Amino acid sequence: MTAVQHPPLDTGERRRTGDARTLITSLIDPATVEAIAVDAWVALVGEEELLVPVPGDLPADTLSAWVDVVGPWTGSVVLTTGRQTAADLTRALLREAAPELLDHEDVADAFGEIANVVGGNVKAALPGPSTLGLPEVGPAPAVRHPEDVCRIDVLWRGQPLAVSVQGALPSLPTPHDNPHPNGASL
Amino acid sequence: MTLTTTSFDWVRQLVHRESAIVLAPGKEYLVEARLLPIARSMGLPDVGQLVDSVRTRPSPESTRKIVEALTTNETSWFRDGDPFTALTSTVLPALLAARGPAERLQIWSAACSSGQEPYTIAMLLEDAMPYASTRASITATDLSRAMVERTRAGRFSQLEVNRGLPAPMLVRHFTRAGSEWQVSPSLRRMVSASECNLAAPLPRMGPFDVVYLRNVLIYFDLPTKQAILRRVRALMRPDGWLFLGAAETTLGVNDSWERVVVGRSSAYRPLKGA
Amino acid sequence: MRALVIDDSRAMRRIVGAALEGLGYETRQAGHGREALDVLQEGWTPDLCTIDWNMPVMDGLQFVSAVRANPAWRRLTLMMVTSESEQGQIVRALAAGAHEYVIKPFTADALRDKLALLGMLPEEAVL
């Protein structure tokens, strides 16, 4: 029965409206994500700690911290930066309480808390109610569906950092009448 | 970095003189970041030229912009709470007793900044009397067009709603709008915002039952302070109430006011016949 | 005055603790609600608890409900300090018995303003 329902033309727009799942790009824009991140930095890292909206190349050795959001939109809010920058952020948060040598747990705690603060506010800007997971730290979770991502790239103290709000669900099925799927990148 | 030591020192002295806040050496970066938008808005390429321009042609407006950009992070709700406690405990009951049921109360927030003060007053009125938006109006004015627009929009960031706004009032009077919070339509109906330069002749407004003129007079010299208080008085009802900032007074500036203690706050009332 | 800072992040406990100590509070810390209840049960009674929402073992809302269920702790002031900032969540926390709600991110000034609203600034304490 469903097999005979060929949509006349796949414009992407149609896919969005036809599918029950709403893409993040129609729920939040990069300016909102940036405003949330800037506020988090000013309050947590320091009043003069500006995030400059200039993309930079992330180094090879990165670390990510993220929280999961489960609700009408389900996905993760992922912060990614160089390992050294994550350590610098940790020192900025711990200040005089920072140990001489940071271990992974210190970095996971502080970087994870920043992800929690950014993620909590991203969640509140999305349709709710949703639940927020506890922060996790490690290699970034894979992008499941490149169109279900809202990402900003900024510099903190000259070092690149990315905030990615990305859907956790697998790629939407490619419509069968589209001969060249472009959703399966990477 | 375009800021010279001389320019930075001038800014430091200005801020210290106007606000008693000390900018430590090494804060050049902060000065650059905060003042660049002001320079751009005046069509100047950098902060160095902004400083040069204000040094050669000083004006209260540009001085205030610079000082504000460097000293205020966010204005608080219920800033220095006492003048608001006084409104609900004493001023409002007195006015409601004195005015007829059809008379509309008029309140003026004379330096409304981004809107926290007029909306604080609006929330208190709405919580204190039924149908507040039909019985009271709040005129919010500011020198800065940007601030007037912000007040009109009634949208506040997360950091702003964190500053002294009781959580029960946040959830009662605001709704989430993206990363910001939007004040309710009924509060916005009560508040009308417009530009107004207190140091120049005032537009036709009022007459006001209550005027909040807080932390404004400090920016002006004595003759200007006197002129402002004279103009404000002319727009007030004879039994009106004026609230100034905690560090401000009419005493020794303009003697046509009577200082009265209201709870833990002071208010000024027009002296009869003065 | 005493404050118990409840948050699963050590960095956040430091930030909140430092802000409160700057205002004159004596502070202790707990990493989740259960640990906080242990501190209360051992007899260290604070005037204020600052409470994160999402924590392992026992979350902030469960902690608020547990405190409110025990009349011995009815004088405790409970202030949520959390990145949970959906309007419905704030309403839930207030309904469960939290007195105030500070949304992360916050500045030290924001904490001070909220405590002033509650009459909980140590230098104003009249003994």
Looking at the DSSP bridge assignments, the partners of residue A66 are A78, A136
Whether A48 and B159 lie within 8 Å, measured CB to CB: no
- Between CA C19 and CA C25 the distance in angstroms is 9
The runs of H, that is alpha helices, within B5-87 are 5-19, 28-41, 47-56, 60-71, 82-86
User: CA nearest B118: which of B130, B126, B109?
Assistant: B109
Of C86, C101, C109, Cβ closest to residue B167: C101
Q: Which CATH class is domain A22-167?
A: alpha beta
DSSP string, C59-114: -HHHHHHHHHT-GGGTT-EEEEEES---HHHHHHHHHHT-SEEEESS--HHHHHHH
Reduce the DSSP state of residue C51 to 3 states and report it: strand
Across the B/C interface, how many CB contacts are shorter than 8 Å?
52
Closest chain C residue to the Cα of A97, Cα to Cα: C14
| Burial readout B44-57 (b: 16 or more C-beta within 10 A, e: otherwise) | bebbbebbbebeee
Q: Please state whether the peptide bond connecting residue A179 to the residue before it is cis, i.e. omega within 30 degrees of 0.
A: no
* Percent of chain C topping pLDDT 90: 86
- State how far residue A71 is from chain C, nearest Cα, in angstroms: 12
User: CA nearest C50: which of C81, C96, C90, C74?
Assistant: C81
- Between CA B166 and CA B168 the distance in angstroms is 6
Amino acid, res. A56? G
Interface test with A, best of C54, C55, C103, C111 (most A CBs within 10 A): C54
Whether B167 and C94 lie within 8 Å, measured CB to CB: yes
- What is the residue-level pLDDT of chain B in tens, covering all 274 positions? 568 889 999 998 888 777 656 677 777 877 887 888 788 888 888 889 999 999 988 888 888 788 878 765 457 888 777 899 999 999 999 999 999 888 999 999 998 989 999 999 999 999 998 888 889 999 999 887 888 999 999 999 888 898 899 999 999 999 999 889 999 999 999 999 999 988 888 999 989 999 999 988 877 788 888 999 999 999 999 999 999 988 788 988 888 999 999 988 899 999 987 6
User: Which architecture does CATH list for B82-270?
Assistant: 3-Layer(aba) Sandwich (3.40)
The domain segmentation of chain A, as residue ranges, is: 22-167
Under 8 Å between Cβ of B174 and A124: no
First to last CA, chain A: 34
> Is pLDDT of C1 > 60?
yes
pLDDT of residue B274: 62
The continuous run of DSSP H or E covering B171 comes out as helix B167-173
Interface test with C, best of B82, B85, B171 (most C CBs within 10 A): B171
Task: Establish if C101 touches chain B: CB-CB under 8 angstroms.
Answer: yes
Amino acid, res. A48? E
The set of chains that have 3 or more CB pairs under 8 A with A is: B, C
Tokens of A72: 């009408």
Dmax (CA) for chain A in angstroms is 67
Under 8 Å between Cβ of B117 and B109: yes
Interaxial angle between packed helices B5-19 and B28-41, expressed in degrees from 0 to 180 and rounded to the nearest 10: 90
- State how far residue A157 is from chain C, nearest Cα, in angstroms: 20
Q: A184 versus A21: which is more confidently predicted?
A: A21
pLDDT of residue A1: 41
User: What is the side-by-side strand order in the sheet with B155-157?
Assistant: B155-157, B180-183, B174-177
- ipTM more than 0.85? yes
The CATH number assigned to the domain with range B5-71 reads: 1.10.155.10
Closest chain A residue to the Cα of C81, Cα to Cα: A117
- State how far residue C77 is from chain B, nearest Cα, in angstroms: 14
Interface test with B, best of C106, C113, C121 (most B CBs within 10 A): C113
The domain segmentation of chain B, as residue ranges, is: 5-71, 82-270
* pLDDT tens, residue by residue, A40-93: 998 889 877 888 888 889 999 999 999 999 999 999 999 999 999 999 999 999
- Taken in order B226, B232, B238, B239, the sign of the CA dihedral is negative
Instruction: Match 């009924």 to its residue by tokens.
Output: B186
Q: How many Cβ atoms are within 10 Å of C38's Cβ, its own excluded?
A: 11
Whether B167 and C90 lie within 8 Å, measured CB to CB: yes
Reduce the DSSP state of residue B180 to 3 states and report it: strand
Under 8 Å between Cβ of B170 and B161: yes
Q: What are the Cα distances from residue B266, in Å, to B67, B91, B123, B188, B229?
A: 26, 12, 22, 28, 16
Q: What are the Cα distances from residue A26, in Å, to A29, A30, B29, B82, B177?
A: 8, 11, 37, 45, 14
Of B73, B77, B161, Cβ closest to residue C107: B73
pLDDT of residue C120: 92
User: What is the side-by-side strand order in the sheet with C2-6?
Assistant: C26-30, C2-6, C48-51, C77-82, C100-103
- Between CA A37 and CA B267 the distance in angstroms is 42
Q: Please state whether the peptide bond connecting residue B130 to the residue before it is cis, i.e. omega within 30 degrees of 0.
A: no
Tokens of C14: 């430091």
- Between CA B80 and CA A47 the distance in angstroms is 23
Amino acid, res. A78? V
Q: Give the helix, strand, coil percentages of chain A, each rounded to 5.
A: 35, 20, 45
Domains within chain C, CATH numbers bracketed: 2-124 (3.40.50.2300)
Across the A/B interface, how many CB contacts are shorter than 8 Å?
27
User: CA nearest B255: which of B229, B217, B221?
Assistant: B229
